[in-house]
Amino acid sequence: MNKQKPITVVSLFSGCGGMDLGFVGGFEFLGKKYKKTNFTIIWANEINAAACNTYRKNIGEHIIEGDIREAIAALPESADVVIGGFPCQDISINGKMEGVNGKRSGLYTFLVEAVKKIQPKIFIAENVKGLLLKANAASLQKILEDFKALDYDITRKLYNAADYGVPQTRERVFIVGASKDITPFTPPPPSREKYITVKEAIGDLETLPSDERFSHIWSCANKSAEQGNRKLIADRPGYTIRAECHGNIQFHYSLPRRISMREAARIQSFPDTFLFQSKLRETERQIGNAVPPVLAWHIANAAQNAIIGSHNETK
């Protein structure tokens, strides 16, 4: 770890803390240590009470529970970084495809407002791959225009989490805005050539009995016509973990049941020390909504390099 002063972070739409955990680092996943970064989260907000309970348990007490429309009045005056995975329900192919005119995805404007007020060195906004669909072209253009109007150098990139050590073929868009007085942000290159398979990620849990404290519990929903009924393939990464699967989460590759919440958390790259403070349905939602911590860690390090690089250039 660099002996630099802490780099302060404001987190919006924080959920249970997947992106925030990745940003601070200092955790272990599948035997690999992800070192602590120089980031310190000084303020976070989430509307879901259950997610806030999980966040407090694992990340910190600094999270403000409530609607961002009200919480934004309590934003800090300054911070080095603003991050947030704004709601995607109106952009996702599983949603109503209303784009940024929808009630949920239109909340990205509060990220814009936060950046405008705080004027961080860098900001990072995350959303689903559906943002790049032709049907959402106008929404993407509007989002980019709103961020560019704040006078940041904007980059956007589609990341496959599996390229960065996450055992899941999850594709997400990250929009990064870098202040013109820091080193340009360079997206992190893929960290591995060989994907981690789902069996490598969860195979040791096969013989473990259900354990509610460890979130090793699973839905007993019968197979239905809804999405999420696929069976995992042992020698491939897992499918994307969805938040609104209504119990229809993927089936285990060899056992006669759906995957457990701890297995889903592993597929999302949460360390086993991350304990969810909720029952099955809420835990399912928290895991599915989260940014994989390991992917977030790689992006955080790229952001840190841009900020610290600018410090070094001025010495």
Q: Which residues are catalytic?
A: 88
> Angle, nearest 10°, between helix axes 280-289 and 49-58?
70
DSSP 199-218: HHHHGGGTTPPPBTTTTB-B
**How far apart (Å, rounded) are the C-alpha atoms in residues 124 and 154?**
10
Tell me if 105 sits within 8 A of 138, measured CB to CB.
Answer: no
For the CA atoms of 32, 36, 41, 46, the dihedral, rounded to the nearest 10 degrees, stands at 10
Tell me if 250 sits within 8 A of 231, measured CB to CB.
Answer: yes
CB-count exposure of residue 135 (10 Å: 0-12, 13-18, 19+):
exposed
Strands (E), the chain: 7-12, 27-29, 32-34, 39-46, 63-65, 81-85, 122-128, 153-160, 171-178
Q: Phi, psi (5° rounding) for residue 7? A: -100, 120
For the record, the structure tokens of 270 come out as 């949460």
